[in-house]
Amino acid sequence: MRVFNREKAIERNVRIGARLHCARAHVRPNRAQFAREVGVDVSTIRKIEEGKRGVSRELMEHLAHALRISLDYLEWGSLNGVDPELAAFLEEHCQAELLGRPRKSLTTEAARTPTTPMGISNRQGH
């Protein structure tokens, strides 16, 4: 008999959501348009990406197919079976998601990056 572990389910939802967000933001930047393409409400995509909603195997397969990613990427962060060009992007830009850590907020990161009056980053290497 399988015992439901709420904490593990929440962690799984957060990991899947973060990976979905990273891939979707690159492949289909417009969340509302992507939701229409896969036939779900935009709030469903938002809640999944935020880790606030679980996702069925059937919906996960549909999302993965629409984004050219594998179920293994969504569930485990594996790039096997992912479109090669997209895999290169994910490997470079989504390491936290691949390793199962939630992504940093872009607004939080931007707030910590000092900029000039022209909005150019003063951070070294940027």
> Quick one: pLDDT at residue 95?
73
In the structure, what pLDDT confidence band is assigned to residue 2 with cuts at 50, 70 and 90? low
Q: Which residues contact 111 (CB under 8 A, 6 or more apart)?
A: none
- Give CA angle at 61 (45, 40), nearest 5°: 30
> Quick one: pLDDT at residue 35?
97
Average pLDDT of span 37-61? 96
Query: What is the Cβ-side half-sphere exposure of residue 76, based on CA atoms within 13 angstroms?
Result: 8
CATH class of the region 6-103: mainly alpha
Q: Assign 107 to helix, strand or coil.
A: helix
Q: What tens digit of pLDDT does each residue of 89-104 get?
A: 998 888 766 665 554 4
In the structure, what pLDDT confidence band is assigned to residue 3 with cuts at 50, 70 and 90? low
Q: What tens digit of pLDDT does each residue of 20-47 get?
A: 999 999 999 999 999 999 999 999 999 9
Token look-up 């896969």 returns: 38
Question: In the 8-state DSSP scheme, what is residue 2?
Answer: P
Cβ density class 77-87: b for 16+ within 10 Å, e for less: bebeebbeebb
- Residue 111 or 48, more confident: 48
Q: Alpha carbon of 44 to those of 49, 68, 119: distances in Å?
A: 9, 20, 34
CA dihedral (5, 8, 13, 14) positive or negative: positive
Listed by start position, the domains of the chain span 6-103
